[in-house]
Amino acid sequence: MTIDIKNFYLMTPLKRPEYFRLKLSDIPQEIIDEYKLKEKATPDGWVYIKVCRGMYGLPQGGLIAQEQLEK
């Protein structure tokens, strides 16, 4: 039996949420419209995002995935 675990750490639940901010001007207009991000942006044009699961670029994702594999 074989399994593909190259992206295993993606979507693994984090122990506590992480937050980051993204400039509204860096988000495609169709996404801004779909999620009504202009209403949620700060006056200076930032959108704050809560991350609850592992994702690319998040160092904790790999560690959490490793802990899950060991269980």
Burial profile 39-60: b = 16 or more Cβ within 10 angstroms, e = fewer? eebeeeeebeeeeeebeeebeb
25-62 per-position pLDDT tens digit: 999 999 999 999 999 999 999 999 999 888 877 777 67
Q: Look at residue 69 in the predicted model and tell me its pLDDT.
A: 73
Q: Look at residue 43 in the predicted model and tell me its pLDDT.
A: 96
Domain regions of the chain by residue span: 13-64
Q: What is the DSSP string of 6-69?
A: TTTTTTPEEEEEEEEEEEGGGS-HHHHHHTTHHHHS-TTSEEEEEEEE--TT-HHHHHHHHHHH
pLDDT for 8 beyond 90? no
Confidence of residue 15 (pLDDT cuts 50, 70, 90): confident
